Amino acid sequence: MPEFFEEDEEEEEEEALPELEAENVVMRMAPYPSGPLHIGNARMILLNDEYVKKHDGKLILFFDDTIGSEKKKLLPEAYDMIEEGLEWLDVEWHETYYKSDRMETYYEYAEKIIEKGESYICECSAEELRDNREKGLECSHRKKSVEDNLEGWKDMLEGGFEEGEAVLRLKTDMEYPDPAFRDRVLFRISERTHPLVGDRYRVWPLLEFSWAIDDHLLGMTHILRGKDLVIEDRMEEYIWDIFGWDSPEFLHYGMLRLKDVDLSKSEFQRKLAEGDIKSWDDPRTWSLQSLRRRGIRPEALREFILDFGLSGTDIEVPASKLYANNREIIDQEANRYFFVPDPVKIELVGEIDIEKAKISRHPSQKERGYRELRTGNNVFIPRKEWDDHQGEEIRLKNFCNIELEGKKGEITSFENKDILKIQWLCEGFDVEVERPDATKEKGMGEKNLKDTEKGDMIQFERYGFVKVERKEPFYAVYGHR
C-alpha cells in the first residue's frame, strides 16, 4: 500500500459552528418549565453549551418561568427534570436564575419606561387590541399622560384592574410595517398561582420585556434563539435603545422537526393529566429522560444535534439519523441475546446430535466468549417467521436447518447454510419490551439474560437494541434497530 494514502487519515474534527467575535462570552439557555427538556429543546441547549465551552465562557441557566398562559402551564416538577436532563447531557452551566425571582426588578424598569413616555396602560380588550393592531389604529389609551399611566400602573399592581382589564404596552408605532411589531404588550395581569412564588404577584412581564432587562443586566454577549423568536430581537433592541444600552449579538437557528414525531410539552402535559400517558419518561414524549431510558447516549444526541450546525434553514430529519449516531456507540458494547417475540412452539422432527448451541456474545469481538443454549425437539420461534416461511427451509441460527410444515420442523441438516437464519429458544423466561410507541411486546428471552445488569444496553438479535430496565420480571426498553 502506498504511504501517501495514510496522510488523509488524521483530518481534524472541524467544528461546524461559525466563530464568535467576542472574548468573554456569556450566554444563556432559557427553558420554560412546563415539562422536562425534550429532543426539540436539545438544539438550543447544546448549541449554547458548545459555544460557551469553545470560548471558555459562562453559561447561565435561566428558568423562563413567568406565569405563562392557560395553555402553557408551569409544572413544579419541571425545574428538577430540566436540570436532570442538562446533567445527563453533560451541559456545564455556571449560574441559575429564575424569572419569578426577579419581579421587583422588572417592576422597577417598567416604571422607568413609563416615565420615559415610551409605554402606556391600555384598557382595550384582547379582541380590540388585535383588531387595532391589524388596522394600524391607535386607541384612546395611547394618548394618556405619563402621570395617568403611572397611576394606571399602580392600579394594576394593587388590584385596581381585574385580569384582562389592563396591560402595559410598548409605544412603537401603530403603523409600523410589520403588524406583529405594533405596540406589543409588556405586562399583563394574571391571577394564576405560580409554583415558586405563589400568589405574591399578579402583574407579570412577557418574555420580551423581561429578556430586554435581564440580557442587559446579566451582561449577555450572545443570544441564541430559534427563528420563531426573531421578533424578540427587535423588541429587545427597541427597549435597549430607550435605556441607551448596547446590544449583544443575536444568533438564530431554524426550526427542527423530527419526521413523524409531534412534540408539544403542553400537549403531553394534558395527556398526562388525563392519564393517557403515565409519566414524563414515556417514550412518546421524546423527553431527554425517555431517550435515556431507551439507551440513547448523550454523546450521540450531541453529535446528532451539532451536525445541523447553526443554519437558519428549517430541517426535518428522520429519527433514524439519531439511531445511526447512537448505534455507532452502543454496537461496540452491546452483547447479543436471543429474544423470541410472540413465540410459537414447533416440534423438530429428526435426530439431534448436539446438546447445546454455542453462539458468540458479540460477533465481532470473539474475545467476549460464547453463550450456550440448550437444544431439544421443542423449540419456540417468532410467530412472524413461522407465518412467513411455511414450506421453506430456514436455519435456526447456530443450531440446525429445518423445513417448516405447520407446527413441525423437519430437520434437514446441521451445517451452516446460506439461508434465512432466525433466533429460536428451547427454554427461556418471560420478557417484556416497551416499544417507542409505548406498547409492550411480550416474548421469550434466553436464560443467559440473567447475566445482564440493570441499565445494560444489549442487542436482541434480529430484533433491535434494548436497554435492560428490570431483571425480575425481565423488562427492557426498545432503543432502535
> Which of positions 147-166 make contact with RNA (CB under 7 A)?
163-166
**Total residues belonging to the chain:** 481
Shortest gap between Cβ of 134 and RNA (angstroms)?
7
Rg of the chain, C-alpha, whole Å: 30
Q: Please give the residues from 248 up to 287 whose contact with RNA meets the rule CB under 7 A.
A: 252, 254-255
Q: Which is nearer to RNA, 77 or 278 (CB)?
A: 77
Residue 205 phi, psi (nearest 5): -80, 155
- Member of 147, 249, 307, 405 binding RNA (CB under 7 A): 307
Q: Map residues 394-423 to x or -, x wherever contact with RNA holds by CB under 7 A.
A: -x-xxx----------------x----xx-
CB 309 within 8 A of CB 302: no
- Member of 244, 246, 364, 391 binding RNA (CB under 7 A): 364
Pairing of β 474-480 and β 464-470 = antiparallel
Q: Which is nearer to RNA, 367 or 472 (CB)?
A: 367
Cell 416461511, residue located: 389
Q: Is 302 in the site for RNA (CB under 7 A)?
A: no
Per the rule left: phi > 0, alpha: psi between -120 and 50, beta: everything else, 290 is alpha
Nearest Cα to Cα of residue 433 among 480, 475, 479, 471? 475
- Member of 157, 197, 272, 310 binding RNA (CB under 7 A): 310
Dist CA 33 CA 50 (whole Å):
22
CB 191 within 8 A of CB 163: yes
Q: Please give the residues from 177 up to 236 whose contact with RNA meets the rule CB under 7 A.
A: 177-180, 182, 185, 188-190, 204, 206-207, 227-231
Nearest Cα to Cα of residue 98 among 26, 28, 40, 158? 28
Strands ordered across the beta sheet of 408-413: 378-382, 343-349, 408-413, 400-405, 393-396, 421-422
Nearest Cα to Cα of residue 301 among 252, 334, 258, 266? 258
CB 206 within 8 A of CB 32: no
Q: Is 477 in the site for RNA (CB under 7 A)?
A: no
Strand partners, 378: 347
Q: Is 369 in the site for RNA (CB under 7 A)?
A: no
- Of the candidate spans 42-50, 63-71, 79-87, 279-287, the one that interacts with RNA by CB under 7 A turns out to be 63-71
Q: Which is nearer to RNA, 70 or 104 (CB)?
A: 70
Shortest gap between Cβ of 181 and RNA (angstroms)?
7
Dist CA 74 CA 190 (whole Å):
13
Q: How far is CA 177 from the centre of its chain?
A: 36
Shortest gap between Cβ of 24 and RNA (angstroms)?
22
Q: Is 311 in the site for RNA (CB under 7 A)?
A: yes
- Member of 129, 277, 346, 425 binding RNA (CB under 7 A): 129
Q: Which is nearer to RNA, 1 or 244 (CB)?
A: 1
Dist CA 376 CA 250 (whole Å):
68
- Of the candidate spans 85-93, 278-286, 442-450, 459-467, the one that interacts with RNA by CB under 7 A turns out to be 459-467
Q: Which is nearer to RNA, 459 or 470 (CB)?
A: 459
Cell 382595550, residue located: 124
Q: Please give the residues from 79 up to 118 whose contact with RNA meets the rule CB under 7 A.
A: none
Q: Please give the residues from 130 up to 149 whose contact with RNA meets the rule CB under 7 A.
A: 130, 133-134
- Of the candidate spans 293-301, 343-351, 392-400, 427-435, the one that interacts with RNA by CB under 7 A turns out to be 392-400
Dist CA 415 CA 425 (whole Å):
18
- Of the candidate spans 59-67, 141-149, 242-250, 369-377, the one that interacts with RNA by CB under 7 A turns out to be 59-67
Shortest gap between Cβ of 72 and RNA (angstroms)?
4
Shortest gap between Cβ of 290 and RNA (angstroms)?
20
- Of the candidate spans 86-94, 268-276, 324-332, 450-458, the one that interacts with RNA by CB under 7 A turns out to be 324-332
Q: Is 67 in the site for RNA (CB under 7 A)?
A: yes
- Member of 25, 30, 39, 42 binding RNA (CB under 7 A): 30
Nearest Cα to Cα of residue 295 among 166, 83, 481, 153? 481
Q: Is 442 in the site for RNA (CB under 7 A)?
A: no
Q: Is 317 in the site for RNA (CB under 7 A)?
A: yes
Q: Is 72 in the site for RNA (CB under 7 A)?
A: yes
Cell 417484556, residue located: 432
Q: Which three cell numbers stand for residue 287?
A: 423527553
Shortest gap between Cβ of 142 and RNA (angstroms)?
14
